[in-house]
Amino acid sequence: MEIIYVYTKKRSDFGRPCNFSDRAAEVMVDIPPDPAAADAFVARNPVDAHVQHASDMSEHEVNTERVEVETRGVHHTEGGWPKDVNPQEMEQTIRFRKKVEKDENYINTITHLGTLMEHCIKQNNAINIYEEYFGEEEVAEVEDEPPSAKTINVISKLMSVFDVLPRKRDPNITKRTATHLSWHPDGCKKLAVAYSSLEFQQNVKDMSFDSYIWDLENSNKPELVLKPSSPLVSLEYNPKDSHILAGGCYNGQIAYWDTRKGPLPVEVSTVEFSHRDPVYGTIWLQSKTGTECFSASTDGQVLWWDIRKLSEPTETLVLDITRKGLLENALGAISLEFEPTMPTKFMVGTEQGIVITCNRKAKTPPEKIAGTYSGHHGPVYALARNPFYPKFFLTVGDWTARIWSEESKESSIMWTKYHLSYLTDGCWSTVRPAVFFTTKMDGTLDIWDFLFKQNDPSLSLKICDEPLFSLRLQDNGGFVGCGSKLGTVTLLEISSGLCTLQKNEKTLATAMFERETKREKILEARHREMRLKERAKSEVRDEEGKEEKPAESHHEVLEQVRKEFFEVIEAELRKRAQAEAK
């Protein structure tokens, strides 16, 4: 069937018709030559003509119009009522409902619709219309993609555009470190950065105390400048209220901000009841009110706070592993970890390389320190539980990153190689259980995938020339922020292969962690057995030595040690001579 619609229009609406015809040429104007004008002609001698062999260039400037975006709300009112019924009046609406419910047509309609609705619900339960039937093919495509990352933004506080002059530089002689990063809970459009100088006695008199909240879509200037009484070392968004931030200061105080109330803190803890050292860790707790947090510092204390009353902490714990509760024996905390799914447990990384596991709900303070893990030669700069398997956790310190199991306290189950540069921070991937990130002093970001390979990182990126100090991954796992010692924050977008869960990855990661835990337990049992045997042999040897040999003098012992020392040196020289001869 062909459907034709004819559009009609009056001939008078088309305008005056044009009639064209052929005709002979016609002279309109004839200007005869003027001999008098020839007398006024002047011949130029010589005549210079310039020839340009290069192409002509032109320069244009375009000033585009600025687009201003506004957010406006829409107020929906209740409708569908007859004109004579006011929906705001409760009595009128109840009276009208009772009147309609008595109508036989209403009952028949509801009965009919109920049958249709029941059919739709059963159909919906039987078939999942959102099921992905070809997920395996998509996973295969992701696996073939080589791991990569691209820089999407670089935020530098050196370009202080919030000053009057657009090219005004940061006037501080000492450049401040980006000590902590915190992503906005509702997406990856905002980033809060704490800036502080952690160099000993390097705080210049006129150095700024400010920290910033950056809008990544307009990173020319900060969206909000936070003005604490002392430089911020840690800064965290409240996951329940994105307008609230808690920060730990260099002087040990805790402060919180409401971004709706401006740059100044709403409340600051009193100096008498605060930490005595910089607050390296501040974490929000999962509570009904959403106002509770806790903090850790190198003064050896963990303090719990309620931001509604920051005059004093609600609870205190001294990190004394001797369980005597003495502050002079406490270990300084430099990293803090809390998993919301385990609300009574938390972990603290110390300056001495020891990780302390704590139980907040224990009855006495000594019982709150549940155990310790020792494996680093220096401070534990990063500490994080695996988001998929909380009993496994990652530590970063000295020249290595280590993966631990709660069941094995004597040694880590997996670790990276010893790097040439010091490691400064690390975190797990939020979407892949076997992937984690580390930063180093040479400005390199390493991305490890232990299912792919364990000797080297899957991807190593040179971010900047100065040391990287802080690292934070966005919740969707696709974006990572790195803060440097000179205050530059670099944002990178991770390739889909590193932020997409692979086929059977959870099963493989679980098997790998359990296998390594079992292996470590066997080695620990073997080491304990060997130590017991060595102890028994040494005791027997000491008893025999006391009976048979007289005690050696200090002079004889010194001569024996000197002899053994020179024998080792001679053996080493012989080895080198043989190597050179070859």
pLDDT digits (tens, 9 = 90+) for 232-255: 999 999 888 888 899 999 888 999
Read off the pLDDT of residues 432-453 as tens digits, 9 standing for 90 and up. Answer: 888 999 999 988 999 988 888 8
Nearest Cα neighbor of 248 from 205, 320, 303 is 303
Bridge partners (DSSP) listed for residue 226: 211
- Do residues 484 and 130 make contact, with C-beta atoms less than 8 angstroms apart? no
- Residue 542: inside a domain: no
Helices 90-101 & 104-126 angle (0-180, nearest 10): 90
CA gap 143, 342 in Å, rounded = 33
Distance in angstroms (rounded) separating the CA atoms of residues 47 and 457: 75
Nearest CA-CA partner of 487 in 232, 251, 224, 139: 232
Q: Which residues pair with 292 in a beta bridge?
A: 306
Amino acid residing at 120: C
The token duo for 344 is 């009574």
* Residue 105, phi-psi category: left (phi > 0), alpha (psi -120 to 50), beta (remainder): alpha
Q: Which domain CATH number covers 220?
A: 2.130.10.10
- Rounded to an integer, what distance in angstroms lies between the CA atom of residue 549 and that of residue 539? 15
My answer on whether omega of the bond before 46 falls inside 30° of 0, hence cis, is: yes
Under a CB-based contact definition with an 8 Å cutoff, are residues 270 and 326 in contact? no
User: Residue 282 falls within a domain, yes or no?
Assistant: yes
Q: How many CB atoms lie within 10 A of CB 156?
A: 15
Identify the pLDDT of residue 1. 62
- What is the domain count for the chain? 1
Query: Element (H or E) spanning 226, and its range?
Result: strand 224-226
Inter-residue long-range contacts of 377-380, CB under 8 Å, 24+ positions, other chains counted: 377/353, 378/351, 378/353, 378/422, 379/334, 379/349, 379/350, 379/351, 379/352, 379/353, 380/334, 380/335, 380/349, 380/350, 380/353, 380/354, 380/355
Q: For the CA atoms of 23, 25, 27, 32, what is the dihedral angle to 10 degrees? A: -170
- Judge whether 385 lies within some domain: yes
- Give the separation between CA 447 and CA 148, rounded to whole angstroms: 10
Per the structure, the complete domain to which residue 440 belongs is given by 152-158+169-522
Alpha helices, H only, 347-464: 365-368
Q: Sheet containing 400-405: which strands, arranged edge to edge?
A: 380-385, 392-397, 400-405, 414-415
Whether pTM > 0.85 for this model: the answer is no
Mean pLDDT by 10 residues, the chain (582 residues): 75 77 87 83 75 76 79 72 81 86 85 90 81 58 68 67 35 73 84 84 72 83 87 90 89 89 88 89 86 89 88 87 82 88 86 88 80 87 89 90 86 87 90 90 89 86 89 87 88 86 85 87 85 84 64 76 88 87 80
- Quick check: is 553 in a domain? no
Q: What gap in Å lies between CA 550 and CA 556, rounded to an integer?
A: 12
Residue whose C-alpha is closest to residue 178's, from 157, 199, 205: 157
Q: What is the DSSP string of 3-51?
A: --------GGGG-SPP----------------HHHHHT----SS-----
Region at 352 (left for phi over 0; alpha for psi -120 to 50; beta for the rest): alpha
Residue with tokens 């130590």: 531
Q: What is the pLDDT of residues 299-353, one digit of tens each?
A: 888 898 888 888 888 888 888 888 787 888 888 889 999 888 888 888 899 988 8
Q: What does the alpha-carbon distance between residue 294 and residue 275 come to, in Å, rounded to a whole number?
A: 12
User: How far out from the chain centre does Cα 481 lie?
Assistant: 5
Structural contact between residues 178 and 241, judged by C-beta atoms closer than 8 angstroms: no
490 found inside a domain: yes
Q: 238: which 2 tokens?
A: 């409240």
Residue 86 belongs to some domain of the structure: no
Q: Name the nearest CA neighbour of 230 among 213, 208, 261.
A: 208
d(CA 392, CA 513): 8
In a domain, 71, yes or no: no
- Predicted pLDDT of residue 395: 92
- Domain-embedded: residue 17: no
Q: Contacts for 168-171 with beta carbons within 8 Å, 24 or more apart?
A: 170/208, 170/487, 171/206
Residue 197 CB neighbours (<10 A): 21
